[in-house]
Every structure is written in C-alpha cells, then in structure tokens.
Amino acid sequence: MPLLDTWYTGEQTDKLVPYSGSVDPRIDFTIGRPGIPYLDWGVHPGDDWIRNPSADGHFSPKKNVYAQAQKGTYSDVSAYWAPTELTANNVNLMRFSDVLLMAAEAEIEVGSTAKALEYVNRVRSRVKDHQSTWVQKTGTFNPATYTYSGDTTSANFAGNYHIGLYTAAQFADKDFATKAVRFERRLELAMEGHRFFDLKRWDNGTGTMADILNAYAKRETPYETYSADKVFVKGKSENFPIPQDQIDLANNQGKEVLKQNPGY
C-alpha cells in the first residue's frame, strides 16, 4: 500500500542501483530508473542517458517516449531541431482511471466512502490483475499494447513489485479516504500533467499547495540543483502572469478591463 505520509523517507544514497524494496509496478511504467529495462531500448544505464545529472537528477521520463521499434514512425526523422527528441505518440487527454478517481473524490464528498473504495480499488486492480504490463528483466516489449511477452514469473520482474487493495475499514475514515484517493491520482496519473492543477483545486485558498511544493523542493535539492532556492509563493504562484501586451490591448480605450494577476 502507498506510504501516504512517509513516501519520501528512506532515500537511497546510491541513485544508480535499483531500489530492492517493494515498489508499485507503475513506477517502471512512469519513469526510467537506472538498471531497469527502458521500453525496448535496453537497460537504463543511469547518468549516461541524462544530459545534466547534477541539475536534472538520475531518472528519465517514460510515458511520453516512443519505443525503439517506433523510431521513424512515431518520431521526427527530419533534419530540423532535435529530431530524436520529438514524438508523435498519441496522448490520452482523459483516461478512464482519471474518471474513476474523480468519481471517487465526489463520492467521498457526499459521504459514500464505500463507493469511493470501489472506484479506487478498481484502478489498483487493473494494475494488480494484469502482470503482463509489469516490466520484465527479459521479454519482448510490445509498444502498441504496452505489454510484455515472455516469462511472467515474479523472478523475471524488473522490480520487487507489489500492489494491494484498500479495505472498508480504512475508507470508513473520511480523512484517510480523501488522502488515499488524492495520492492515488499522484501514482496513477504521474507525468501526465495533472499534479499542478490537482494541487491548485485542493488548495482552494488554504496555502497547502505552497506548503507541499516548497517542502518537495527542499527535499529534492540535495539530489538535483534545479530546486535550489526555488520558492512557491502563496497567492501568486498558483497563476502565471498575464502578458503585459495583452493587458495593454484590453485597456487601450482608457478603461481598465483586464488586471494583472496578484503578485506580478
């Protein structure tokens, strides 16, 4: 089960050795880890694939990357800017898991935690019951189905994968259920562009978004320099500034109809 409050503890000192403890199978669907097969490109070698490890960390994105078998078909083969970095992979703007987890949130708010439990466990069961999607040490990766063919015994899985289901007793506590469903969105939808907007709507003026992101930046600073001295300002950073030329155009009749967002 997810470590809802202590997920960031127990950091490894050696980032180039795969973590040997229990992990959610979705971790290797979401990020490239050193020592773990990376689609059909082979085993991720670690920092050799990272442009600037001291600033960018030691891991790679995965969900938006084309497979080696798709090179030239779902990637740009032109001679223009960064041809090897451009992908034509389709992106699901809304997945069924997203719908289920939104529904789970709504059920909690109206007091139906039992229904929320059903929805969140349905998302987790999809992973638990389809081990062909778990990354294998050896096996043939099919990018069209994102599944592996080969030895699907536990000894051949690339990580120490485990995923369980929540219980009715756990979800009887509304606060726990809320935290669990929100964390499940983080696990299931990671690297799909939802996190910022989830935090923003959950914040609702409380400042929790700033607290969460500033704490995260502080924890990450020892491992990658990009987070150093970065501060998320409550009441400002939730929104980008409106371009000044757009404000000037909107207000060019002598009446202020468009105001700059607070803090800029």
Question: How far is it, in rounded angstroms, from Cα 49 to Cα 36?
Answer: 13
Q: Is residue 75 a contact partner of residue 83, using CB atoms and an 8 Å limit?
A: yes
Rounded to an integer, the average pLDDT of 41-52 is 91
Query: Does the pLDDT value for residue 213 go beyond 90?
Result: yes
Question: How far is it, in rounded angstroms, from Cα 10 to Cα 62?
Answer: 24
Question: How far is it, in rounded angstroms, from Cα 89 to Cα 73?
Answer: 9
Per-chain mean pLDDT for the chain: 89
Q: Is residue 2 a contact partner of residue 187, using CB atoms and an 8 Å limit?
A: yes
Q: Is residue 253 a contact partner of residue 230, using CB atoms and an 8 Å limit?
A: no
For residue 14, what pLDDT is reported?
A: 61
The 10s digit of each residue's pLDDT in 102-153 is 999 999 999 999 999 999 999 999 999 999 889 999 989 999 898 888 887 8
The 10s digit of each residue's pLDDT in 87-104 is 777 777 899 999 999 999
Question: How far is it, in rounded angstroms, from Cα 188 to Cα 208?
Answer: 21
Name the β-bridge partners of 68: none
Question: How far is it, in rounded angstroms, from Cα 57 to Cα 221?
Answer: 10
Give pTM, 2 decimals: 0.88
The 10s digit of each residue's pLDDT in 242-253 is 999 999 999 998
For residue 52, what pLDDT is reported?
A: 86
What percent of the chain shows pLDDT beyond 70?
94
Query: Does the pLDDT value for residue 12 go beyond 60?
Result: no
- Of 228, 229, 217, 219, give the one whose Cα is nearest residue 54: 228
Q: Which residue has the higher pLDDT, 48 or 57?
A: 48
Question: How far is it, in rounded angstroms, from Cα 29 to Cα 46?
Answer: 17
What percent of the chain shows pLDDT beyond 90?
62
Helices 174-188 and 96-109: angle between axes, nearest 10 degrees: 170
